[in-house]
Amino acid sequence: MRHAGTMTSAPRTARAIARAELTRAILDAASRQLVEIGPAALSVRAVARELGMASSAVYRYFPSRDALLTALLVEAYDELGTAVEGADAAVTDRGDLAARWRAVCHAIHDWARAQPHRYALLYGSPVPGYAAPDDTVTPATRVTGAILAILHEAQTAGLDPVPPLPLSSAERAGLAPVRGFVDPPFDDDTLARGLLAWSALFGTISLELFGHMHRGVLDYDAHFAQVVDQLTADLGLITDG
C-alpha cells in the first residue's frame, strides 16, 4: 500500500498534481484569511468560497479546521526557519559569528515585517481553544536552533559575552534543558546573555509589530538595527573590533 500524500517526491498522476495544487491554493487562501480575520476566526467555508468550491470539498484535503490551522502553523514555522537558515548560510565567512548573528536577527525581523499576521500566529497570543499538536514542534525548533548554533560556536571559539551576574542556583537548575541542547553544554555566561538576547530580540519585534512603539520610536529599522548591534556586542560576538 503506497500512500500518495507525502509531497516529498514529485507527483506522477494528474490526480496527484491537482491535489498538490489545490492543497497549496487552500493554504494560500487560508493564509490570506489570517490577514483579515485572524487565526481564531479562520473559516473553512470562507476558504472554500474564495476558491469557488463547495465547503465540503475542503474536507478532502484537511480533515478539520484545526488541521488546516496546524498546517498554517507548520508552514509558517518552516518558511521562517528556511529564511533564517538561508540568511545564516549566506554568510561566507563562517567564523564571523557577529555577521551570522546579525543576519539571523535581520532575517527574522524582515520576515516578521513582511508577514506580520503569520508572525503573530507564531509568536503572538495563542489561539484560544486550539492546542498545537506535536507536528509543530520540529519546525518551531529551526529558528532557535540557528541561534543556539551560533552561540555555541562562539563559546567553542572562546568568545566571552559581557560578564553577566552569576546565576542563582534555582536558575542554574532551571536552565538544564537549554544547557543540554548542545554538546559540550553551554556555560552559564553564554546561557544568561543568550537568553537575554533572545528575549530582547523577540520582544523588540513584538512590541514593534503589535503597535507599542507607535508613540515613542519613529524609525523602526534603525531601532532594530541598533538593538541587534547592541546584542551582538553584549554577546561578545565581535572579534577584535
Q: How far is the CB of 210 from DNA (least distance, A)?
A: 23
- What does 178 interact with, of a copy of itself, DNA, none (CB < 5 to 8 A by kind)? a copy of itself
For a copy of itself, which is the closer residue by CB, 51 or 207? 207
**Taking Cα atoms as reference points, which of 186, 205, 56, 7 lies closest to residue 122?**
205
Q: How far is the CB of 122 from DNA (least distance, A)?
A: 20
SS3 63: coil
82 phi/psi in degrees, rounded to 5: -65, -45
- Residues 141 and 81: their CA atoms lie apart, in Å, by 8
SS3 3: coil
- Residues 146 and 151: their CA atoms lie apart, in Å, by 9
Site size toward DNA, by CB under 7 A = 25
Contact positions vs a copy of itself (CB under 8 A): 36-38, 40-41, 117, 120-121, 123-129, 137, 144, 162, 164-165, 167-168, 170-171, 173-178, 181, 192, 195-196, 198-204, 206-207, 210-212, 215-223, 225-227, 229-231, 233
Q: What element of type H or E holds 107?
A: helix 97-114
For DNA, which is the closer residue by CB, 37 or 162? 37
Q: How far is the CB of 5 from DNA (least distance, A)?
A: 8
- Residues 178 and 204: their CA atoms lie apart, in Å, by 22
Grid cell locating 148: 543556539
In the stretch 141-180, what mask flags binding to DNA with x, by CB under 7 A?
----------------------------------------
Q: How far is the CB of 192 from a copy of itself (least distance, A)?
A: 7
Q: How far is the CB of 13 from DNA (least distance, A)?
A: 3
* Identity of residue 182: V
Degrees to nearest 5, angle at CA 28 with 138 and 81: 30
- Residues 83 and 236: their CA atoms lie apart, in Å, by 24
Report the site for DNA in 2-41 (rule: CB under 7 A): 4, 13-16, 18-19, 22
